[in-house]
Chain A
Amino acid sequence: MKVHLRVFVEIENLGKAMNALTDAGITGFYILEYKGMSPQDWEGFVIKEDPKSTIGLIRDYAKEAVLVCCVVDEDKVDSIVESVQKSLEGEKYTILEVPIRRIIVSYGGSKKKTDEKAEPWLLEKEVPCFYCGEKAVQRIRIEKNKSKIWCTNCGASRYYTLRTTENPGED
């Protein structure tokens, strides 16, 4: 599954956040500049309902901040978040992880990229290992023609090879 990672940072920390995200291996991003107030700053405020007061309040109290967004694989999220947390230690920031149900991309009539090499799928399951018997994370790597499952505790691996495919749509 893909995850929409949203990192809210104060504008002076944008560079730090971007470096941390890049070091952790993000491949693309977009940013949105905004003015915002954190809940603790906002607490106790009751704004007058005329536009002038509202705009004045935003100008006077809201801080300039940036939202950095990127789409990443679910299994990479933890290491990316860890990298950002390490880099922004002691600073104010908020990170949201939003699961993505579906991605639809239109290439607007231009040719689709040809480097569409199928990426291997990586999954994990925490169960007792078939070899050492310890309850540990078992990693599963599935490629087009082969698959491997290995224990992160003892390293014992099982290998599988593609035998056949079945496509009900071709019947």
Chain B
Amino acid sequence: MVVKPWMLEKSARCHSCGDATVHEIQVDEYDLQISCRECGFRRYYTFTMVEVPEK
């Protein structure tokens, strides 16, 4: 099943500039990307594994 990218926002302290700012989060099937709206610092996460419930 193809997962459409999600666009989310989170107000939090930036790991880079340290300010309490809004972060844009894009969640894709294989990638997750976070960028600080204030300083542009980005973090890229890659899909590693999936865990499904036992039937």
Interface positions of A (Cβ within 8 A of B): 1-2, 100-104, 118, 121, 123, 125, 127-128, 130-131, 133, 140, 142, 144, 146-147, 149, 154-169
Contact = CB atoms under 8 A, between A and B. Distances in A.
Interface of B: prevailing SS: strand
Interface of B: 1, 3-4, 6, 8, 10-13, 15-17, 20, 25, 27, 29, 31-32, 34, 39-53
30 contacts: A101-B11, A103-B20, A121-B12, A123-B8, A130-B29, A131-B52, A131-B53, A140-B25, A142-B10, A142-B34, A142-B45, A146-B45, A147-B32, A149-B27, A154-B53, A156-B52, A157-B52, A159-B48, A159-B50, A159-B51, A160-B31, A161-B48, A163-B44, A163-B46, A165-B41, A166-B44, A167-B39, A168-B40, A169-B16, A169-B17
Contacts of B45: 142, 146-147, 160-163
A169 B50 contact: no
A144 B15 CA distance: 9
